[in-house]
Structure 1
Amino acid sequence: MMNLPLKYDVTKMKLNIHDYHHVNYMKLEKLAMEYEPFITLDCHLTKEYICNHTTATNNTNNLIKWSTTNLTFYSPTIFNERIYINEKCQLIIHNVKLIDSNIYNCYIKNQYQSNNPWQLKISYRLKIEKSYYQWPSKNNLLIGLLFLVIYSIFITIIWFILMIYNVYIFKQLAARL
Structure 2
Amino acid sequence: MSAPARLDLKHYGHTDAAAIRELLLDVHDEVYEGVDDPLAGRDEFAKFVDHWCARPGFACVVAYDDGEPVGYAYGAPLSAATTWWAKVTPPLAEPFTAETGSRTFALSELMVRVPWRKTGAARRIHDALLGSRGEERVTLLAHEAHDKVRVLYEGWGYRTVGETVPFDGAPLLCAMVLDLR
Q: Which TM-score band (shorter chain)? A: under 0.3
Which structure has the larger Rg over C-alpha atoms? 1
Q: TM-score, normalised by structure 2?
A: 0.22
